[in-house]
Structure 1
Amino acid sequence: MSAPDLPLPTRLRYFATNLAVRSFFGLALSLPYRWRVPLMGWLASRVIAPVAGWRGRVRRNLAHVMPDLTPNEVERLVRAVPDNAGRTLIEIYSGPDFVNRVKDCPIEGPGLAALEEARAQGRPVILVTAHFGNYDTARAALIARGHNIGSLYRRMRNPYFNAHYVRSISAIGTPMFEQGRRGMMQLVKHLRGGGVLGVLTDLYVGGAPALPFFGQPARTSLVTAELALKYDALLIPTFSIRQANGLDFVVRLEAPIPHTDPETMTRAVNDELEKLVRAHMGQWFWIHRRWKKAGSEDV
């Protein structure tokens, strides 16, 4: 809903929340990039995570799918996951500073040659990614190399926050397609024109098939695979891996997922993501409610 359509109490609450967030971001963005990113990671890990309940959710998710982790490793991840999330958020809001930092980052993997070949042929490509590392790094780096990449995004519930969120992600690159009927029409036109689409697919989707992820059923949308089949688009798992200095990335494009059927293809995407997360446990967003049970808000 737009702001004028909201009940007055809700509108005031959203306005106040957004004002606080904007003020905080404004202060953070006044700092040099190399300071603001680790500072935001520290604040997210040490201040925001305990208040927001993130630490408990990370522990519950890990206990649900990896019960054999040592207590020391769990506590490391309880700190590392919010740190990466905080860094990602301020990086996205850093616009040109973020783009300048990552536009020349290394890009590797067998999917890179496939992507270049598709561009030469005018064939559409879907880069399927996840809330891992900083997912917008690949978009920024590939746009800088001349790829026509559009991205699908979900509108934020707070309309005041959504306005500057969309401005921030659009500063990294356009076009942007909002989830919904109009956005889907724009997205289809982009694909039919041989464009590249970036899609995040690691969120719980009610009513979607329960596919294995870390050995447990996780409801996962088949839409991305269905689009790839319908428009003969390559489906390339794409991930941006944060490096040890906390500021730089390596973008990895895996081999395209073979066209079979939507469920088989989506299972393969889940498998690629799981393999990467196991290698870099602190970089996936374990804060998500990825393994909801029916009628439950948690695992």
Structure 2
Amino acid sequence: MSVKFSHRLEYVAARAACGLVMFLPYRVMLALAWSIMGPVWAFSRKLRARTHRRLRQALGADKSDRELARIARRAYRNLVFTAVEGMRMPGMSRAWIERNLSPAAYEELRSQLAPGQGFIVAVPHQGNWELAGLALQAQGVQLIALVRRQKNPLMNDWINRVRRSTGVEAIDTKSTAVGEVAAKLRAGKVLAILPDLRAKVGGVPVRYLGVETEVPVGAARFALESGVPLFTAEVVREGWTRIRWRLTGRVDVTPSADTAADHQRIMQAIMTKLEASVRANPESYFWFNKRWVLGPEEQR
């Protein structure tokens, strides 16, 4: 892929911002970032209107417009804080991770697994999902993450270098390495996957947040191919700096004679668990994804 001038500008700006974020104390950087992005939210009428539509679509008529506005603003703040934390990832120590992330999920996992056993954990785009993965890494888990290639090749290479620096094995969703995931799981590695995206092609039908949609089949397919346990978890921001993540269930991945039916059953079980987490903690959810899980919005 050729590198455009705009790619270089974006890359230089991102590296400069990352340097500033790494230099300033954590809480100071969060406050500075929100002092800049809070007004951006206040004046972005189109973004606020779109977020309000999505919240109303997903949460129904029970909540008032005022309550939805509060949820939307908190969710946007979570997004800003998540971006700051993402830029600080290369410098995060194990002590920092353990201080700011609850270890409850890992302790639950350890009680249900044999030593060295691989597994899959499905989480929604919630809280800071990348930090949840780092928390596993900090406990000695060998983590795999499926990632999409960025349009900017400079940003793509840099982001992947950052991921590798934390010990995470990032696998491009369009690479042949995806075919090796099941073998890696059987060898004791762990796959963290975020299935709450609308599938462009080849998805399975599920009901999520009250709407019929289609999501990627990856979590179900890898679980059936590898035979490892499949869990769901939630990642919730509490206040500014505390991230709580915990298991929300274990999904039955016993295969039947009908693989397509297994895929649908497993993905629906996952999405049902994720929906409960989102409804309980809407302020932590990523309502701003361009690939809105509940369908195209051009007509809205």
Interval containing the TM-score (normalised by the shorter chain): 0.7 to 0.9
TM-score, normalization by structure 1: 0.86
In the alignment of these two chains, the number of paired residues is 287
Counterpart in 2 of 1:281?
282
2:258 corresponding residue in structure 1: none
The 3 A distance-change label for structure 1 pair 112 and 292 is same
Show the 5 A alignment for 1:262-281. 262-281=263-282
Q: CA deviation at 1:165?
A: 1.6
* 152 and 141 in structure 1: CA distance in 2 versus 1, 3 angstrom threshold: same
How big is the shift at 1:85?
A: 0.7
Instruction: Report matched runs for 1:36-75 at 5 Å.
Output: 36-47=29-40, 50-51=43-44, 53-68=46-61, 69-75=63-69
Cα deviation 1:38-81 (Å, max 9, x = unaligned): 43244344326855953232112112223422111121123111
1:154 maps to 2:143: no
| Offset at residue 117 of structure 1 (A) | 4.2
Residue equivalent to 1:240? 235
Gaps in structure 1 of 5+ consecutive residues: 5-10
TM-score by length of 2: 0.86
Question: CA separation in 1, counterparts of 2:166 and 2:49?
Answer: 32
Structure 2 match to 1:291: 294
Q: What code does the residue aligned with 1:157 have?
A: K
Distance 1:278 1:181 in 2: 34
Give the 3-state SS of the residue equivalent to 2:48 in structure 1.
helix
Report if the CA contact (8 A) 1:126-1:233 is conserved: yes
CA-CA distance at 1:163 after TM superposition:
2.0
2:249 corresponds to 1:255 = yes
Corresponding letter in the other structure for 1:89: A
Contact 1:81 1:282 in 2 (8 A): yes
Please state if 1:14 is matched with 2:7. Answer: yes
Map 1:28-43 onto structure 2 (within 5 A). 28-43=21-36
Equivalent position amino acid for 2:51 in 1? V
Counterpart check, 1:108 vs 2:107: no
How far the C-alpha of 1:189 sits from its partner, in A, is 3.3
Aligned to 2:221: 226
1:169-210 residue CA offsets vs partner (Å, 9 max, x unmatched):
333332221212333134233213121111111111113133
Measured after TM superposition, the shift of residue 114 of structure 1 is 4.3
1:211-238 C-alpha deviation (Å, 9 max, x unpaired): 1111112221122111101110111112
Q: How far 1:153 moved relative to its partner?
A: 1.3
| Compared CA separation, residues 39 and 234, structure 1 to 2 (3 A) | farther
Question: Structure 1 87/175 Cα, relative in aligned 2: closer, same or farther at 3 Å?
Answer: same
Gaps of 5+ in 2: 255-261
Matched residue of 1:267: which SS?
helix
- 1:297 deviation in Å? 4.4
The one-letter code matched in structure 1 to 2:117 is R
Q: Any idea what SS the aligned residue of 2:127 has? A: coil
The answer on whether the counterparts of 2:124 and 2:234 sit within 8 Å (CA) in structure 1 is yes
- Paired residues of 1:40 and 1:83 also in contact (CA < 8 A): no
Residues 1:297 and 1:228: Cα distance change in structure 2 (over 3 Å): farther
Letter in 1 for 2:10: T
Equivalents in 2 of 1:21, 1:142: separation in Å? 27
